[in-house]
Amino acid sequence: MSEMRFPDTSEREKRARLLEMLDAGKVMVYVDPRRPGVDLPAQFKGQVAVPLNLSHRFALETFDIGPLAVRASLSFGGERHLCVLPYRAIFGFYGHADEERVVFTDDLPSEVIIAEPAAPSEAASGAGTARTEQAPEPSTPPAAGRPGLRLVE
């Protein structure tokens, strides 16, 4: 039997932010699948960061934004999997509706850095530095003036 506990400040903040962003539309949640309590399909176990889209409009069989974790029956290659995403394993959100990007630096995997948005004159050359204030969507190139996520190898 697992120990019953109340959510800490960080978990409450992530839950509140996720609910707020879901009210606006689809949200990409960035999860470190190596963290305790995460349940994702086996192919994601060794990855550093897994982006997952969540939305009230998906009409998922299970979609629970609980006090300690998100539980959602998501589809991967046509196969359903009941995913468990503890807030302690979530390190970022990307709101598709308004392009809002949020990172929780205390939970950011050390292998992930956030590229500084390039200045207008640097945008063409792709120059940039690292920062840890905002998390973007790593699966698409960032818009001009937006930071981008990269894995550090």
The yes-or-no verdict on residue 120 having pLDDT over 50 is no
The yes-or-no verdict on residue 135 having pLDDT over 50 is no
Residue 4 lies in a domain: no
| Phi, psi angle pair for 90, to nearest 5° | -90, 125
The yes-or-no verdict on residue 126 having pLDDT over 70 is no
Is residue 127 within 8 A of residue 118, CB to CB? The reply is: yes
Each residue's pLDDT tens digit, 62-102? 999 999 999 999 999 999 999 999 999 999 999 999 999 99
Is residue 33 within 8 A of residue 40, CB to CB? The reply is: yes
- The pTM of this model reads 0.74
**By mean pLDDT, which of 2-11, 20-29, 70-79, 97-106 is the weakest?**
2-11
Is residue 116 within 8 A of residue 129, CB to CB? The reply is: yes
Domain of 130?
9-151
What is the CATH number for 105?
A: 2.30.30.220
Give pLDDT, residue 5.
Answer: 87
Give pLDDT, residue 116.
Answer: 54
pLDDT level of residue 112 (50, 70, 90 thresholds) = confident
The yes-or-no verdict on residue 113 having pLDDT over 90 is no
Domain count, the chain: 1
| Phi, psi angle pair for 30, to nearest 5° | -100, 120
Distance (Å, whole) CA 111 – CA 141:
19
Residue 2 lies in a domain: no
